[in-house]
Chains A and B, each alone.
Chain A
Amino acid sequence: MRDVAVVGFAQRQMPEFDGSPTCVELLVPVFKELYEQTGWTRRDVGFWCSGSSDYLAGRSFSFVQAVDAIGVIPPVNESHVEMDLAWAMYEAWIKIQTGEVDTALVYAFGKSSAGVLRRTLALQLEPYTMTPLWPDTVSLAGLQARAGLDAGVWDERAMAEVANRSLTDAEKNEYAIRKGGSSVDELLARPMYADPLRKHDCSPVTDGVAALVLAAGDKAREVRERPAWLTGISHYVDPMGMGVRDLTRSPSAQRAGAALDLGGVEVAELHAPFSHQELILRTELGLGDDVAINPSGGALASNPMFSAGGIRVGEAAKKIWSGEADKTLAHATSGPALQQNLVCTLSGSTEGKNN
Chain B
Amino acid sequence: MSRTLQAPVTVAFDYTRSTGPVVGRFLSGLRDGVVVGGRTSAGQVVVPPLEFDPVTHEATTEFVEVSSVGTVTSWTWVPEPVKDQPFDRPFAFALVTLDGADVPFLHALDVASPADVTTGMRVRVRWAAERVGHINDIAGFEPLAPGEAEVAAPAAASDEPVTGVVTKVSLDYNYAASPEESLFYRGLNEGRIMGQRCPTCQKVYVPPRSACPADGTPTEEEVELSQTGTITTFCIVNVPFLGQKITPPYVSAYVLLDGADIAVLHLILGVPADEVRMGMRVKAVWKPKDEWAYSLENIDHFAPTGDPDAEFDTYKQHL
A contacts, CB < 8 Å to B: 17-22, 24-25, 28, 31, 42, 55, 58-59, 67-73, 111, 113-116, 118-120, 123, 127-136, 138-147, 150, 192-197, 239, 241-244, 247
Chain A residues within an 8 Å CB radius of B95:
143, 147, 242-243
Instruction: Using known A-B contacts A71-B211, A244-B50, determine if residue A20 contacts B177 with beta carbons closer than 8 Å.
Output: yes
Tell me if B127 is interfacial: C-beta within 8 Å of chain A.
Answer: no
Task: Pick out which of these stretches binds chain A: B98-106, B271-279, B283-291.
Answer: B98-106
Chain A residues within an 8 Å CB radius of B2:
18
Tell me if B215 is interfacial: C-beta within 8 Å of chain A.
Answer: yes
Tell whether, in the assembled complex, residue A68 and residue B216 are in contact, meaning their CB atoms are under 8 Å apart: yes
Would you mind naming 5 contact pairs between A and B with Cβ atoms under 8 Å apart? A129-B135, A132-B84, A140-B76, A146-B119, A195-B79
Tell me if B6 is interfacial: C-beta within 8 Å of chain A.
Answer: yes
Tell me if B145 is interfacial: C-beta within 8 Å of chain A.
Answer: no
Chain B residues within an 8 Å CB radius of A141:
76
Chain A residues within an 8 Å CB radius of B93:
133, 135, 139-140, 142-143
Tell whether, in the assembled complex, residue B174 and residue A114 are in contact, meaning their CB atoms are under 8 Å apart: yes
Tell whether, in the assembled complex, residue A243 and residue B214 are in contact, meaning their CB atoms are under 8 Å apart: no
Tell whether, in the assembled complex, residue A133 and residue B47 are in contact, meaning their CB atoms are under 8 Å apart: no
What is the bound-complex CA distance between A353 and B39, given in angstroms?
43
Tell me if B179 is interfacial: C-beta within 8 Å of chain A.
Answer: yes
Chain B residues within an 8 Å CB radius of A59:
11, 175
Q: Across the A-B interface, how many residue pairs have beta carbons closer than 8 Å?
A: 189
Tell whether, in the assembled complex, residue A127 and residue B15 are in contact, meaning their CB atoms are under 8 Å apart: yes
Tell whether, in the assembled complex, residue B77 and residue A71 are in contact, meaning their CB atoms are under 8 Å apart: no
Chain A residues within an 8 Å CB radius of B171:
55, 58, 115, 119-120
Instruction: Using known A-B contacts A28-B216, A243-B95, A243-B104, determine if residue A21 contacts B74 with beta carbons closer than 8 Å.
Output: no
What is the bound-complex CA distance between A204 and B50, given in angstroms?
34
What is the bound-complex CA distance between A126 and B11, given in angstroms?
20
Tell whether, in the assembled complex, residue A195 and residue B54 are in contact, meaning their CB atoms are under 8 Å apart: no
Chain A residues within an 8 Å CB radius of B106:
129-130, 133, 135, 143, 242-243
Tell whether, in the assembled complex, residue B176 and residue A18 are in contact, meaning their CB atoms are under 8 Å apart: yes
What is the bound-complex CA distance between A116 and B84, given in angstroms?
12
Tell whether, in the assembled complex, residue B212 and residue A71 are in contact, meaning their CB atoms are under 8 Å apart: yes
Tell me if B86 is interfacial: C-beta within 8 Å of chain A.
Answer: yes
Tell whether, in the assembled complex, residue B114 and residue A243 are in contact, meaning their CB atoms are under 8 Å apart: no
Tell whether, in the assembled complex, residue A24 and residue B114 are in contact, meaning their CB atoms are under 8 Å apart: no
Tell me if B46 is interfacial: C-beta within 8 Å of chain A.
Answer: yes
Chain B residues within an 8 Å CB radius of A130:
106, 135
Instruction: Using known A-B contacts A128-B19, A133-B86, determine if residue A71 contacts B214 with beta carbons closer than 8 Å.
Output: yes
What is the bound-complex CA distance between A28 and B211, given in angstroms?
8
Chain A residues within an 8 Å CB radius of B214:
71-73
Q: Which of B50, B77, B79, B178 contacts A24 (CB 8 A)?
A: B178
- Which B residues, 47 to 103, have Cβ-Cβ distances below 8 Å to chain A? 47-48, 50, 54, 73-79, 82-86, 93-95, 103
Tell me if B159 is interfacial: C-beta within 8 Å of chain A.
Answer: no
> 8 closest pairs, A vs B, by CB?
A142-B76, A71-B216, A58-B173, A24-B210, A20-B178, A195-B77, A73-B214, A119-B82
What is the bound-complex CA distance between A244 and B107, given in angstroms?
15
Tell me if B126 is interfacial: C-beta within 8 Å of chain A.
Answer: no
Tell whether, in the assembled complex, residue B211 and residue A21 are in contact, meaning their CB atoms are under 8 Å apart: no
Tell me if B134 is interfacial: C-beta within 8 Å of chain A.
Answer: yes
Tell whether, in the assembled complex, residue B83 and residue A134 are in contact, meaning their CB atoms are under 8 Å apart: yes
Residue of B nearest to A32 (CB): B216
What is the bound-complex CA distance between A229 and B86, given in angstroms?
49
Tell whether, in the assembled complex, residue B105 and residue A243 are in contact, meaning their CB atoms are under 8 Å apart: yes
What is the bound-complex CA distance between A130 and B167, given in angstroms?
10
What is the bound-complex CA distance between A133 and B171, given in angstroms?
14
**Per-position binary interface string of chain B over residues 8-29, scored 1 when its CB falls under 8 Å from any chain A CB and 0 otherwise:** 0101000101010001001100
What is the bound-complex CA distance between A71 and B84, given in angstroms?
41
Chain B residues within an 8 Å CB radius of A244:
46, 50, 54, 103
Tell whether, in the assembled complex, residue A42 and residue B216 are in contact, meaning their CB atoms are under 8 Å apart: yes
What is the bound-complex CA distance between A99 and B47, given in angstroms?
47
Tell whether, in the assembled complex, residue B175 and residue A116 are in contact, meaning their CB atoms are under 8 Å apart: no
Tell me if B305 is interfacial: C-beta within 8 Å of chain A.
Answer: no
Q: Which of B75, B86, B103 contacts A146 (CB 8 A)?
A: B75
Chain B residues within an 8 Å CB radius of A123:
169
What is the bound-complex CA distance between A22 and B177, given in angstroms?
10
Chain B residues within an 8 Å CB radius of A28:
210-211, 216-218
Residue of A nearest to B219 (CB): A68
Tell whether, in the assembled complex, residue A195 and residue B46 are in contact, meaning their CB atoms are under 8 Å apart: no
What is the bound-complex CA distance between A231 and B79, given in angstroms?
44
Tell whether, in the assembled complex, residue A133 and residue B85 are in contact, meaning their CB atoms are under 8 Å apart: yes
Chain B residues within an 8 Å CB radius of A139:
76, 78, 93
Tell me if B172 is interfacial: C-beta within 8 Å of chain A.
Answer: yes
Tell me if B213 is interfacial: C-beta within 8 Å of chain A.
Answer: yes
Tell me if B41 is interfacial: C-beta within 8 Å of chain A.
Answer: no
What is the bound-complex CA distance between A344 and B82, given in angstroms?
36
Tell whether, in the assembled complex, residue B210 and residue A69 are in contact, meaning their CB atoms are under 8 Å apart: yes
Shortest CB distance A167–B (Å): 22
Chain B residues within an 8 Å CB radius of A42:
216
- Which B residues, 287 to 319, have Cβ-Cβ distances below 8 Å to chain A? none
Q: Which of A58, A67, A143, A239 contacts B175 (CB 8 A)?
A: A58
Chain A residues within an 8 Å CB radius of B176:
17-21, 111, 114
Shortest CB distance B148–A (Å): 24
Residue of B nearest to A24 (CB): B210
Chain B residues within an 8 Å CB radius of A242:
95, 104, 106
